[in-house]
Homo-oligomer: A and B are copies of this chain.
């Protein structure tokens, strides 16, 4: 990961009131590092496995905590596609998703490629916090 992004991560953690601990930095590096801007959609289990095989000793509980804290801090976005299967997306810009049911893979759709014609009024006293669009795709063959 670029040095710039690394400092940025530390800054973002501090802003969010999160101490830049060994584990958070390591997980952040795994999430955003190396293949810098690649879109990533990981489950907690996957990230934990990745950490293990990268020699980073971190517990699964911490992975869950960290992913949720990152999500809270808007460094990640959680996408639920099936009961018992949620992904954390490194892309926090406005965008949507293709979901391939057979393989369980997720793919970003830039917001320019899928826009809503009109946004319905939220019921009284509510405000729309987020719009999630999932296009479920069958892979024939």
Q: How far is the CA of A109 from the CA of B119 in the complex (A)?
A: 11
Q: Which residues of B contact A136 (CB under 8 A)?
A: 128-132
**Chain A: interface residue total (CB-CB under 8 A):** 39
Dominant secondary structure at the A interface: strand
B-contact bits for A57-99, CB 8 A (1 contact / 0 none)? 0000000000000000000000011111110000000000010
Contact A134 B137 (CB under 8 A): no
What string of 1s and 0s marks CB contacts (under 8 Å) between A103-131 and chain B? 00001010001111111101101111111
**In the assembled complex, A3 has its CB within 8 A of some CB on chain B:** no
Cβ-defined partner of A132 (8 Å) among B100, B107, B133, B139: B133
> A84-B83, A86-B83, A132-B133 known; A126 and B114 CB under 8 Å?
no
Q: Complex: how many Å from CA A132 to CA B135?
A: 6
- Contact partners of A84 in chain B: CB under 8 A: 83-84
Is residue A34 contacting chain B, with contact meaning CB distance below 8 A? Answer: no
Q: Which residues of A46-66 are within 8 A (CB) of B? A: none
Q: Kindly list chain B residues whose C-beta atoms are within 8 Å of the C-beta of A83.
A: 80, 83-86
9 sampled A-B residue pairs with Cβ under 8 A: A101-B129, A114-B120, A115-B117, A122-B135, A125-B140, A125-B141, A127-B138, A129-B138, A130-B135
